[in-house]
Amino acid sequence: METPEWSALMNHRAQLEGLPLRELFQQDAQRYPRMTLEAAGLTLDYSRNRVTDQTLGLLADLARGRGLPERVDALFRGEQLNTTENRPALHTALRQPQDQPVKVDGENIMPAIQATLERMEIFTNTVRGGEWRGMNGDTITDVVSIGIGGSYLGPLTATEALTPFQSEHPRCHYVANVDGSDIREALAGLNPATTLFLVQSKSFTTQETLANARVARQWFLHGGGTETTVQHHFAAVTANADRARDFGIAGDSIFPMWDWVGGRYSLWSAIGLPVALAVGMPRFRELLAGAHAMDQHFQQAPPEQNMPMLMGLMGLWYMHGFGAESQAVIPYDHYLRHLPEHLQQLDMESNGKSVCLDGSPVSHHTGPVIWGGPGVNGQHAYHQLLHQGTRLVPVDFILPLTSHNPADGHHAMLAANCLAQARALMLGRTEQEVRAAMIAEGMAEDEAQRLAPHRAIPGNRPSNLLTMERLEPATLGALIALYEHRTFVQAAIWRINPFDQWGVELGKEIGGQILPALNGEPDTDMAFDSATAGQIARFRAAQGSGSGSR
């Protein structure tokens, strides 16, 4: 990025070199209140970042210089930002009130969105209220959502996050992997007469989803179902209604998707149906409202006070200024345990790109590796690398201030751990401090000298702390929308397209060539490379000798 704003940032970087975070805190008692921002029920404490007011000003200059505010307007207006598929990306329209029209090809899409929400409401009320009956006249006790990627991770994350808001029935289960063990385990213990399947696939061509849907159908038919009663037990969410109908799903039970919603941004569409079935439609609408509140903040706040922009810009600062290759997301909340997985797909499928919008190669790294897991578990696994490893890994900690299950002081312990991690990363411990502490405990000086380098912690490692009063539908909606926009901010600065995913296609295509060869179908002798051909032969030999365990 050869822009004057970027050069100014890089020059400024050298000034920060000798100014560790612990010193920035010592110099400025107001650092925390100044570097705290509220939006849509979330509070971002970004004081533990390697930034000064000057850095933030320069990052805001970069955002303006790269036209970020104009890109945000274009996103919400429904411009065709997905330039390789000639579509807008209008997930924001799915969560906005009806009174503001949004047009695609001259047509206002808001009535179709509202009509779908109303259909979802009727459907969820019917199933949750026990009026939807299965083949034997029983009510539905279990819903199995079959989908993968964006048609799986968003609903799974939200369903788990909203566990305290779930009714006893229906219980929601998710199947994604084409590994037969996934669906086998999901169906174990379920009753075909009281189970409803939701086939979730925008394209209705995804191999994994269709294979699992076929297994589900067979299981249902073997469990007493018939071709006619399939209609009482299968519904679909798709942009390809014909295919869903061919599968045997009744038109009334097919909910629409639109090509202007990307898979990884589709939680807010009817793809969120399993969430609505689990928590009820009013809660689902609260989820949408929370996301909309974040949308409004993103559209209206200046870069200096804009949560997604600040997070996106500071992420760039670490990648390009300090060589960070990854971003950790560590929620201190058991119910948010799937969030890192969802954000991984959201960001890595969006920004894992090597060319700019005009097709020219980028001159720098793009999307970071997104990873993480629930705190505190990670403290006893990978946090060692965060504290003493050679890599700089910026961390987002997420902490609801109150718990749905505060049992026996657990929540204060959880919060103490979260705050301690952020503080330890920031502060570190110098060799002198370590040595002095060991000598004070009675250790001999030469032993303290020997151990000090091993026990010193560099510190100066950046983190954000995102808090909310309570994890509930609205705050969850705001949280997920925050990360969607953070991803968009980085794509806009890099001038890449975050809304396509051509890289995924090659694997699908080659998988389609290998499968018949693995199955030993005739005329599939493709000229595979020696490694692939060798592994195909081994796989086929193993099928001859192998035996299933169950």
Smallest distance, Å, CB 362 to ligand F6P? 21
* 272 touches ligand F6P by CB under 6 A: no
Number of residues that bind ligand F6P (CB under 6 A): 14
What is the side-by-side strand order in the sheet with 326-331? 36-39, 42-45, 463-468, 395-400, 326-331, 369-372
Does residue 487 bind ligand F6P (CB under 6 A)? no
Pairing status of strand 171-175 against strand 142-146: parallel
Q: Is 150 in the site for ligand F6P (CB under 6 A)?
A: yes
Contact call for residue 261 and ligand F6P (CB under 6 A):
no
Strands of 401-479, DSSP E: 463-468
DSSP 397: E
**Applying CB under 6 A, does 209 fall inside the site for ligand F6P?**
yes
> Please, what is the angle between helix 4-16 and helix 307-322, to 10°?
70
Binding-residue pattern over the window 312 to 351 for ligand F6P, x denoting contact by CB under 6 A: -------------------------------------x--
Residue span binding ligand F6P (CB under 6 A) among the ranges 200-208, 313-321, 359-367, 531-539: 200-208
| Residue 150 vs 274, nearer CB to ligand F6P | 150
Q: Which of 10, 19, 504, 537 binds ligand F6P (CB under 6 A)?
A: 504
Report the residue from 88, 149, 155, 473 that binds ligand F6P according to the rule CB under 6 A: 149
Nearest partner of 222 among 236, 207, 233, 211, judged by Cα:
233
* Residue 404 is a catalytic residue: no
Segment contacting ligand F6P by CB under 6 A, of 148-156, 162-170, 176-184, 280-288: 148-156
Alpha carbons within 13 A on the beta-carbon side of 70: 6
Q: Choose the binding region for ligand F6P from 68-76, 100-108, 143-151, 307-315 (rule: CB under 6 A).
A: 143-151
Structure tokens at 51: 């930034």
Paired strand residues for 133: 139
- For ligand F6P, the nearest residue by Cβ is 263
The CB-of-265 to ligand F6P minimum distance in angstroms stands at 9
**Given the residues 70, 364, 505, 508, the one annotated as active site:** 508
Contact 369, 326 (CB under 8 A): yes
Among 168, 222, 380, 521, which one carries the catalytic annotation?
Answer: 380
Nearest to 262 by CA among 419, 125, 81: 81
Neighbouring CB atoms inside 10 A of 417's CB total 16
Beta carbons within 10 angstroms of residue 306's beta carbon: 25
Nearest residue (CB) to ligand F6P, 52 versus 209: 209
Instruction: Provide the minimum distance between the beta carbon of 266 and ligand F6P in the complex, in angstroms, as a whole number.
Output: 7
Q: Are strands 254-256 and 463-468 parallel, antiparallel or unpaired?
A: unpaired
Q: How far is the CB of 90 from ligand F6P (least distance, A)?
A: 16
Buried b (16+ CB within 10 A) or exposed e, 494-528: bbbbbbbbeeeeeeeeeeeebeebeeeeeeeeeeb
H or E element in which residue 506 lies: helix 502-518
Q: Is the peptide bond before 170 cis (omega within 30 degrees of 0)?
A: yes
Site for ligand F6P (CB under 6 A): which residue of 192, 263, 303, 462? 263
Q: Which residue has the tokens 């504290």?
A: 387
Is 320 catalytic? The answer is: no
Residue 333 or 349 having the CB closest to ligand F6P = 349
Does residue 264 interact with ligand F6P by CB under 6 A? yes
Catalytic residue status for 103: no
For residue 146, what is the DSSP state? Answer: E
The residue among 52 and 501 lying less far from ligand F6P, judged by its C-beta, is 501
Measured from the CB atom, the residue of 8 and 348 that comes closer to ligand F6P is: 348
Instruction: State CA 183 to chain mean position distance.
Output: 23
Decide if 339 contacts 331 (C-beta within 8 A).
yes
CB of 506 to ligand F6P, least distance (A): 12
Residues present in the chain in total: 550
Q: For 239, list phi and psi in degrees, rounded to 5.
A: -95, 0
Site string for ligand F6P, 461-480 (x = CB under 6 A): --------------------
Q: Which residue in the list 286, 349, 472, 484 is annotated as catalytic?
A: 349
* Residue from 47, 52, 151, 212 binding ligand F6P (CB under 6 A): 151
203 counts as binding ligand F6P under rule CB under 6 A: yes
Footprint of ligand F6P on this chain (CB under 6 A)?
148-151, 201-203, 206, 209, 263-264, 349, 501, 504
- Give the residue numbers annotated as catalytic, written as ranges: 349, 380, 508
